[in-house]
């Protein structure tokens, strides 16, 4: 059905006068009358009662007016939403991140994007770095937050992807509240050697698993693996139960019940998290996402720099 004819019908129904309706539509009266007649012919029903003195909606015309307004509103909404999608302000975005991302600022980065673009539906997948890279190449996710170790270089499959470092998460030793390390706030490397360790399984995160093994080996420490788990919440639960310690990326914005986080000295090699996406994906929505994450990182770096300069001045004074 011609939407223009529906608009003409609604205007005449609101004005109940062909002359005023034609003026409002910026057309002359004869073509308006013709379009209404064509609409009535198409529907096979009389929408108006016309006399020389007045125009009235027929009973069926009153019913059709409700439906016509709804159809016009629906078409306007469809166009408006399509334009928002075109501008990257609405739509669906599928992203991947590591299982322990909840312990980093990543959720706050995502929150900022959602606040800027509330009509975007995010589909978040908890995947290892390797699984994210595979999903990116297959096109099943639009972007990923991939972990790697700076000293080891980039994962082999990032070669055909765009990558941008967004986080360098600090690592901490997580111990039970009753542990002797809990009151110290800092752990010396030598003290880690004989501690039972709760390990995050390699199949759940190969890069982080390799980091832990490398960290212990580089520092000449024996890794006493007592238990393994495939999710950070399970690892933390076992630590809280007093079954061992673990190393995880962590920021102070998150409270972890039942455990205490201690600083880890000489944490080398360094962990890095990169936002990763396919260069072929020219979606404006994806561009808005990467821009938001980038701006968050730049703002945080700027704030940290100012805080550091203030601290230096206080020390100098």
Q: Give the whole-angstrom CA distance, residue 68 versus residue 78.
A: 15
Look at residue 314 in the predicted model and tell me its pLDDT.
37
Q: Which residues contact 236 (CB under 8 A, 6 or more apart)?
A: 174, 246, 248, 256, 258, 259
Look at residue 80 in the predicted model and tell me its pLDDT.
79
Domains 3-86 and 92-168+272-316 share a fold: no
Look at residue 25 in the predicted model and tell me its pLDDT.
94
- Which CATH architecture is the domain 171-269 placed in? 3-Layer(aba) Sandwich (3.40)
Neighbours of 56 (CB within 10 A): 12
Neighbours of 215 (CB within 10 A): 21
Q: Give the whole-angstrom CA distance, residue 216 versus residue 192.
A: 9
Look at residue 148 in the predicted model and tell me its pLDDT.
73
pLDDT in tens, 171-186: 889 999 999 888 887 8
Q: Give the whole-angstrom CA distance, residue 142 versus residue 256.
A: 31
For the chain, list the strands marked E by DSSP.
Answer: 48-50, 55-57, 90-97, 119-126, 143-149, 162-167, 171-176, 196-200, 224-229, 246-249, 259-263, 271-277
- Domain boundaries 3-86, corresponding CATH code: 1.10.10.10
Place of tokens 């550091």: 308
Q: Which residues of the chain have pLDDT under 70?
A: 149-159, 251-254, 266-269, 303-317
The CATH fold assigned to 92-168+272-316 is: D-Maltodextrin-Binding Protein; domain 2 (3.40.190)
Helix, strand or coil for residue 308? helix
Neighbours of 105 (CB within 10 A): 19
Look at residue 289 in the predicted model and tell me its pLDDT.
96
* Domain regions of the chain by residue span: 3-86, 92-168+272-316, 171-269
- Letter string b/e over residues 29-48, b meaning 16 or more CB atoms within 10 A of that residue's CB: eeebbebbeebbeeeeeebb
This model's pTM is above 0.85: no
How far, CA to CA in Å, does 79 sit from each of 116, 226, 286?
A: 21, 59, 21
């Amino acid at each position: 059905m011609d939407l223009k004819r529906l608009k003409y019908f609604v205007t005449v129904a609101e004005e109940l006068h062909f002359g005023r309706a034609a003026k409002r539509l910026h057309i002359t009266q004869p073509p308006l009358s013709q379009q209404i007649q064509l609409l009535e012919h198409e529907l096979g029903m009389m929408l108006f009662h016309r006399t020389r003195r007045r125009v009235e909606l027929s009973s069926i015309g009153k019913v059709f007016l409700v439906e016509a307004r709804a159809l016009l509103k629906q078409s306007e909404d469809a166009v408006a939403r399509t334009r928002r999608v075109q501008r990257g302000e609405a739509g669906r975005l599928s992203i991947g991140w590591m299982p322990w991302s909840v312990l980093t600022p990543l959720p706050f980065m995502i929150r900022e994007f959602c606040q800027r673009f509330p009509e975007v539906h995010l589909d978040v997948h908890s995947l290892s770095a390797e699984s994210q890279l595979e999903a990116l190449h297959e096109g099943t996710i639009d972007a990923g937050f991939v972990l790697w170790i700076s000293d080891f270089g980039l994962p082999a499959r990032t070669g055909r992807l765009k990558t941008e470092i967004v986080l360098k998460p600090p690592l901490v030793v997580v111990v039970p509240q009753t542990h002797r390390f809990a009151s110290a706030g800092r752990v010396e490397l030598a003290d880690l050697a004989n501690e039972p360790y709760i390990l995050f399984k390699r199949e759940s995160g190969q890069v982080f698993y390799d980091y832990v093994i490398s960290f212990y080996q580089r520092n000449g420490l024996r890794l006493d693996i007592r238990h393994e788990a495939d999710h950070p919440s399970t690892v933390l639960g076992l630590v809280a139960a007093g079954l061992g310690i673990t190393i995880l990326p962590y920021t102070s914005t998150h409270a972890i019940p039942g455990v205490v986080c201690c600083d880890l000295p000489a944490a080398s090699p360094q962990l890095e998290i990169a936002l990763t996406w396919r260069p072929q994906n020219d979606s404006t929505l994806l561009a808005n996402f990467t821009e938001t994450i980038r701006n968050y990182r730049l703002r945080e770096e700027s704030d940290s720099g100012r805080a550091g300069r203030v601290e230096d001045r206080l020390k100098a004074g």
